[in-house]
Structure 1
Amino acid sequence: MTSSTATFVSPLLMIDSASARDRDDAFSVTPLPGGHGWAVEVHIAGVADIVGAGSVADEQAFLRAETRYLRSHTIPMLGASAEQAATLTTDAKRTSLRVTGTITTGGQLVDVSISRGQVPAGRCAAIDHADVPGILSDPAHPLCAPLTAAHAASHALLTARREGGALAFYDLTRGWASSEDGAIVAIPDSLRTVAYVIVQELMIATNEAVALWCVDQGLPILFRNHRPNPVAGSTDELMHEIAAAAGDPDLFAKLRGRLLSTLRAATYNPTVHGHYGLRLSAYAHITSPLRRVADLINQRIVFAYLDHCPAPYTRDQLTALGDDLNRRSHQAREAKKNRFKHADQRHVARQAARDLTALDARTFHKVLKAAAGHPLSEEVAAELARRATADNLTVADVAVLVDIDDSSWRPSQLQVVDALSVAHPEMGPSVVSIWRQAHPADAESTVETRAHGADHDRRFAARGTHRGMRGPWMHAPTKKQAEQAALWAALRAQLTGTDHDQPEPDWPLEPDTAPTEQHPHPATTAPAPAPAPAPGTHRVPLGTLAGLSETKKRKALSNPVAWLMSLAQNEQLPKPEWHFHTDGPSHAPRFTATVHFVGCTGTADAGSKSAAKIASTTTLVEAILTQI
């Protein structure tokens, strides 16, 4: 009786879009007995065997540097004929660069072997990204087991990268992922499945394995080096920010922009310096020789070494090739950045011509930045006033606004500063901080503080200096409140060109509980409320307010001080005036505020000066609104 033993050879999986014509890689992942990891076999298309150095296809590859995927068509790096002769396929034999090893349950690729390979016809199985989830959920499918193993191994690799400090992030629902350099890039709609993660993780591991093997052999190739940027922030912080911004498109866009501006680009060089974004000691581009010329160069070097042939490039030639690729990559990034910038400018111009009240915060900020280089238009002025009244201006908006050096903007600048210094004193330091980031070469804004009184009745005064202009001394019961008020006052002083040179604050004899501007000659007792101005030419514009909706009325009452100041500005009326009177013992004072505005008066008292101011203004605004 004769017996025969069949040797099972696992299929090589080629995961790509169904229409792909440039399949660089195929892999097989098999579970090891006892759950001790996975045996992995990766084949990279032997493009160097097809495309000879100096050939027409080689010249095209060096000219294009990479395959370009456009919306309407694809421009192959090698040209169509060379690409089809080298691509891996299900029905033709191909040479390859073969990488084998073991992926441990801890996510490490070990026991790596690099050799030439042969991919026989019929061993490769082509799978579309969209089909992978269905195969994984169908145990009866012949490719379910190998795909399940690949999925588990890729998860182990991803977990290890994250634990090693890499910014490894995939959001298949919204279509975002982290790139090798740590930027956030879009995932095409057709690739938003778990297959994308499987391929990415296996290819990153393969690139690292070949790079480390070359280091061990002392073999110079074009390593992919990435240096850290100290101001980019830690990975943990970025991951928390990404998670927090995931559901907010505006916040997510700002985070992407910040990463693009702070992360350094990776470079090619025959000297290995490690890859910070991936947190790897050595890395190289190996797995895409059909689509990227650096991978083709590296494959030629590895093949020559394995074949015991002379190196195809000297070290000086490799350095020159790396420098050329780095230069062209930089030019491509700048060109892309400029295209997006110009497209964004055109979009902003179109938005600015529309109803500004309908713009979201991000778009309005862009419109404001674009308008900052021109005299203030009536439309932008009205929208600034509306957003200040509705409490819809952001810190970034205010930072742009106070930076404009154009007298036509001055009334709106002062209106916003006056309104927000009362409604949002905490925004002052943030506005100055953003301004500082835009002007790193200018002198920093500073705050000097003073303290006065016994420990149980401590008072603080602060004065800010912004762009060389000193604001008035501002008093408050806490140091933080005084500093916040001082920065707002310094911004106002810079806008008006008024330098307050009083060397030391004058301390009032009576305690106060809200930031107040230093009076030149503080009185020992608070002045009596000033009489309401006699009716004259200025009246509350009831006709203008007649169409005010209930929603806008509620917004007016939610921030009455800002609304009243905005009304005065828009209608060219005298500014409202507040007068204060203090009663009661020093440990429990009561403040009475009276506000006068074009013949109308509002009075209220409270336990703090700021609360009394808001309460009195609320009374006045309510009286105005009831007349509509």
Structure 2
Amino acid sequence: MAEYDPAECGVMIDTATTVDRDDAVWIEPHRDGFDVWIHIARAADHVRTGGPTDTEARQRVHTRYRSDHTRHMLPAPVVEAASLTPDRPNDTFAVHLRIDAAGRVLDAALGPGRLTRAWTMTHAEAATAANDPAHPLHATLALALRFAHTMLAARRNAGALAFYDLLSGFATNEEGQIVRLDSGERNSGYIIVQEFMIAANAQIAAWAVREDLPILFRNHRLAAVAGDPAELRDELDALAAAGDGAAFETLRARMKMVSRAATYGPTVHGHHGLNLPVYTHATSPIRRYPDLVTQRILLAAALGRPSPYSPEALADAAAHVNDALDAERRAKAEFFKQRAQAETARHAEAADFATLPYKQFARVLQYAVERGDAPAGLAADTARRLDARELQLREFASVYLYGSGEFAALRERMNRRLADEPQQAQSVLNVYLQDRLGGPVSNETNVHWKVEAEPAFEGPLFSAQVALVYGDTRVESPKRLQRNKKDARNQAALALAAQLADLPDLSVDAAAKPRVEVQRKLLVDGAVNPAEAVQIYAARGVVEDLVWDFSVDGPSHERVFTCVGEGRLRATGETVAAEGSGPTKQAAKTAASVELRVLIEAGLALGETGDRSPA
């Protein structure tokens, strides 16, 4: 390739039928890291704020892609004028990132840019180029793929629910939902695009926060009982390794139930699905109205001009977009609900349930539970699907919580199954709450956990209690005791689920032996040397697994010894550690013992270390 300016180069990766190209990416090596450019089409130059085109775009909110047609947010002439094309110079909004080998952003700059050398590729073509040394863009796309994997690994290490299974065609979206990929996206080209865009949007949002510049931030929260993202990601990895498509669908349905829709707003509330403190949408201004609004604000700021939106106007735009998207989701759900009802009634009358695809079976089952009238054979086929591990969470919870008549015996079996797998009980509670609320569950207002250590028993031992609140109603579980916080929560949720379903409570407490020692009698006299006092506490069993570790630094005539003492409080199972330094090993140990003694005695006095937050 001839000499070129990397800041003006870009590859546009999209589907084969795309006409509204609004982003391009480029990458160069920088030491052991990366120099990255993301070019975004300057749609704001073609749509006057408050003009007729802008008014229509605001009403449409975003481009809608249908199987037989596309309804663009912007008129066709504007789409053509604003789209990036490889055969002409393009004015852009450019994001330049310098990133190290671990995926950490070292520097970020953004502002007006130019794209003068560009290529268009499909996702599959980009994947091929990344793996074909003979391809003219191989070096760039191979580096782009390495960058994408670096950023993906960094996001996963930070706790994000980020996952791609290109073989099975599943991936997580920004909101933590599992989505099916189109056939043209089941390749590494899709990962390249996703990771570049997430990096750009995250850094644009971070820049706006640093500049104290209100834009349309993208905020997202997950339902209270969605589970730990790290555990969900491990579950996804295990399913991918097993190649279990049915289990993928089950987990997909579960995540859809507990996921909440992200919203736009001029203030920052974080993005749970991506595990980012701040995020926005700015890379698709031709296709999404919030991106167009944000681009106008960013361009004005980069050029030293005031924002084209007052705080009130920006809040109004956010509210309008959120309301429009919510109405669209509801309308879509209602359309499919009505269409499904007639089909469901027909299948319910047919009584040949074993031959029904799962989606149709689920509709029939829900229909029967809601009516309180199960057709002959439906309970038996539901039991068959339960035994075959085909019954998904939504349908399990519906029968478990609300089934009657023919479902009585099956509900008893489900109760025993839930006792064997108590980790599912919190999801059942979430279904119950969603049914009462008619929407997502809020951790702050609808689910109240009380989880704490129980120092009165031989430890470690924790208690958990959960309460569900909706409207003027509050239902609460009994307290359950277990050896760790997670198991205590699961057993408390199991007890409440049985209570709500009016079924026998099969939850259990761990065997608990009351502690016979009186804590104050265990205290070592204050006059005792700190190092000796710590050893006495170890001998009395107050602290277990006590170890001392020494290191030395400095020249031989001026050595400095460092001692680290560490142990585990028997009452809570929590680790206590302290460090001290001195001219001799004994002095260093004494210095460490002073702090370690304080930590041990604080734990002994409180019965814990003070951490009462849920696991």
Distance in 2 between residues matched to 1:107 and 1:364, nearest whole Å: 46
2:256 matches 1:260:
yes
In structure 1, runs of 5+ residues without a counterpart are 1-5, 449-463, 481-628
Which residue is equivalent to 1:219? 213
For residues 456-483 of structure 1, the C-alpha deviation after alignment (integer angstroms, 9 at most, x for no partner) is: xxxxxxxx99679898x99xxx989xxx
Q: Give the corresponding residue for 2:152.
A: 158
Distance 1:40 1:432 in 2: 45
1:309 maps to a residue whose letter is: R
Matches of 1:385 and 1:310, distance apart in 2: 62
Q: Distance in 2 between matches of 1:385 and 1:18?
A: 43
Aligned to 1:51: 47
- Counterpart of 1:438 (choices 410, 432, 443) is 432
Q: 1:313 aligns with which of 299, 304, 309?
A: 309
1-side partners of 2:125 and 2:244: how far apart? 30
Q: Call closer, same or farther: CA 1:37–1:360 in 2, change over 3 Å.
A: same
Distance 1:231 1:115 in 2: 41
Match of 1:140 among 115, 134, 141: 134
| Counterpart pick for 1:176 among 170, 173, 176 | 170
Q: After superposition, where does 1:593-612 map in structure 2 within 5 Å?
A: none
Contact 1:165 1:235 in 2 (8 A): yes
Equivalent residues in 2 for 1:119-518, closer than 5 Å? 119-120=115-116, 123-246=117-240, 247-352=243-348, 353-359=350-356, 364=361, 366-374=363-371, 376=373, 379-380=376-377, 383=380, 387=384, 400=398, 409=405, 412-413=406-407, 420=413, 438=432
**Comparing 171-180 and 203-212, the one that deviates more:** 171-180
Does structure 1 conserve the Cα–Cα contact (< 8 Å) formed by 2:15 and 2:123?
A: yes
Q: How does 1:547-586 map to 2 (within 5 A)?
A: none
- In 2: Cα distance, 1:427 partner to 1:257 partner: 21
Question: For residue 8 of structure 1, what is the aligned residue in structure 2?
Answer: 4
Residue 59 of structure 1 deviates from its aligned partner by 1.8
Instruction: Summarize the Cα distance change of 1:315–1:466 in structure 2 as closer, same or farther, 3 Å threshold.
Output: closer
Q: Which moved more, 1:154-163 or 1:270-279?
A: 270-279
Number of paired residues? 449
Partner of 1:566: none
Q: What is the CA deviation profile of residues 133-171 of structure 1, one whole-angstrom value per residue up to 9, with x for unaligned ones?
A: 322222121111111111111111111000011111112
Q: 1:68, 1:75 within 8 Å by CA — same for their partners in 2?
A: yes
SS of aligned partner of 1:27 = strand
Aligned to 1:40, the other structure's residue is in SS state strand
| Higher mean C-alpha displacement, 162-171 vs 302-311 | 302-311
Supply the distance in 1 between the matched residues of 2:24 and 2:73 (Cα, whole angstroms). 20
Check the 8 A contact 1:399/1:431 in 2, yes or no. Answer: no
For 1:237 and 1:375, the matched residues in 2 are separated by 36
TM-score by length of 2: 0.64
Residues 350, 196 of structure 1: CA spacing in aligned structure 2 closer, same or farther, 3 A cutoff?
farther
The whole-number CA distance in structure 1 between the counterparts of 2:392 and 2:119 is: 55
1:84-123 maps to which residues of 2 (within 5 A)?
84-120=80-116, 123=117
- In structure 2, the CA distance between the partners of 1:164 and 1:344, relative to structure 1 (3 Å rule), is farther
Deviation for aligned residue 1:300: 0.6
- Does the aligned pair in 2 maintain the 1:49–1:95 contact within 8 Å? no
Moved more, 158-167 or 323-332: 323-332
Greater Cα radius of gyration, structure 1 or 2 = 1
Q: Residue 580 of structure 2 corresponds to which residue in structure 1?
A: none
Among 10, 26, 29, the residue aligned to 2:27:
29
Please say if residues 215 and 266 of structure 2, whose CA atoms lie closer than 8 Å, have aligned partners that are also in contact: yes
User: Which deviates more, 303-312 or 314-323?
Assistant: 303-312
1:83–1:356: structure 2 CA closer, same or farther, 3 Å change rule? same
Contact 2:20/2:80, CA 8 A, preserved across alignment:
yes
Q: Helix, strand or coil for the counterpart of 2:275?
A: coil
Q: 1:39 aligns with which of 7, 18, 35?
A: 35
After TM superposition, the structure 1 stretch with the greater mean CA deviation from structure 2, 348-357 or 169-178, is: 348-357
Question: Match of 1:17?
Answer: 15
Percent sequence identity over aligned pairs: 36
Ranges in structure 2 where 5+ consecutive residues have no aligned partner: 434-467, 481-496, 510-615
Gap change, CA 1:25 and 1:383, over 3 Å in 2 = same
- Deviation per residue, 1:388-411 (Å, 9 max, x gap): 9999996977865576687xx3xx
Cα 1:219–1:384 change in 2 (3 A) is closer
Q: 1: CA distance between counterparts of 2:386 and 2:216?
A: 58
Q: CA deviation at 1:443?
A: 6.0
TM-score (norm 1): 0.63
Which letter does structure 1 place at the counterpart of 2:145?
H
SS in 2 for 1:252: helix
Q: Show the counterpart of 1:562.
A: none
* 1:245-280 Cα distance to aligned partner (Å, 9 max, x none): 454444333322322222222221212222222122
**1:219–1:8 distance in 2 versus 1, CA, 3 Å:** same
CA-atom RMSD in angstroms: 3.9
Q: Secondary structure at the match of 2:313?
A: helix
Amino acid of the residue matched to residue 220 of structure 2? Answer: H
3-state DSSP class of the match of 1:39?
A: strand
Maintained 8 Å contact 2:415/2:498: no
Shift of 1:41: 1.5
Query: SS in structure 1 opposite 2:377?
Result: helix
Counterpart of 1:285, as a letter, is H
CA contact (8 A) 1:356 1:383 kept: no
Moved more, 336-345 or 208-217: 336-345
